[in-house]
Amino acid sequence: MIQRRLFQLLWGLVLYGFSMALMLRANLGLDPWDVLHQGLSPRLGLSFGMTVNLVGAIVLLLWWPLRQRPGIGTVANILVIGTAVDISLACLPVPEGHAMRFAWLAAGIVLNGIAGGAYIGAGLGPGPRDGLMTGFCRRTALPVKWVRTAIEVAVLVIGWLLGGTVGLGTLLYAVTIGWIVHHALPFFTIAPAAGRPLPA
């Protein structure tokens, strides 16, 4: 069972990074966190992927006062996604024409939702950014929708001010990603074996 979980976790994280690269190449707008990563990347002198990994590590440090507990999936999230983005960007050409760019954007969003359902469904620990949200909810007793919205808006505004790309893709991601993950998650969720605790 643990081998299946690890395999699903890893391919989910790699696919997540690949989907981010598709959206980057489409250049039609990114999700809020990637707007932040894109804005920070040139200022830090790091590749986009390494910026993703660094921000993930910094966010993980914020878990400490929130008393969040990371799992294998949390650490893998920090190490794998950004690396997968950089490798994918090195292999993907720049799409030509609006139709191709939109197709890459749409594919990126759909694959991102599927990948999110896969790595969350593996049940080996939330990503740093998701854990930040749940930690704030637990400590403040505020509803998830308020905390998630506040975090997403904050990183979007900061990323936009730093030069990150906000556009059609940002809007499409916002209105579709929840629906895609909602339908992907039940398909990929691996139930724990009876009487055996889930590894953390």
Residue 194 maps to a domain: no
CB 4 within 8 A of CB 191: no
Collect all residues with Cβ–Cβ distance below 8 Å to 164 and sequence separation of at least 6. Answer: 30, 34, 35, 36, 37, 38, 39
What pLDDT does residue 171 have? 93
Residue 139 maps to a domain: yes
What pLDDT does residue 137 have? 78
Domain that holds residue 168: 2-188
Euclidean distance between the first and final Cα of the chain, in Å? 14
Residue 109 maps to a domain: yes
What pLDDT does residue 148 have? 77
What pLDDT does residue 152 have? 86
Residue 70 maps to a domain: yes
Residue 39 burial (10 A CB sphere; 0-12, 13-18, 19+): buried
Residue 195 maps to a domain: no
pLDDT by 10s per residue, the chain, length 200: 789 999 999 999 999 999 999 999 999 999 999 999 999 999 999 999 999 999 999 999 888 877 778 889 999 999 999 999 999 999 999 999 999 999 999 999 999 999 998 998 898 988 888 888 778 877 888 887 788 788 888 999 999 999 999 999 999 998 898 889 888 888 998 876 554 444 44
Residue 157 maps to a domain: yes
Structural domains counted in the chain:
1
What pLDDT does residue 151 have? 86
Closest alpha carbon to 56 in 73, 39, 78, 74: 78
Report the C-alpha gap between 185 and 155 in whole angstroms. 25
Residue 193 maps to a domain: no
What pLDDT does residue 200 have? 43
Q: What is the pTM of this model?
A: 0.89
Query: Left, alpha or beta for 184 (phi > 0: left; psi -120 to 50: alpha)?
Result: alpha
Residue 97 maps to a domain: yes
What pLDDT does residue 199 have? 46
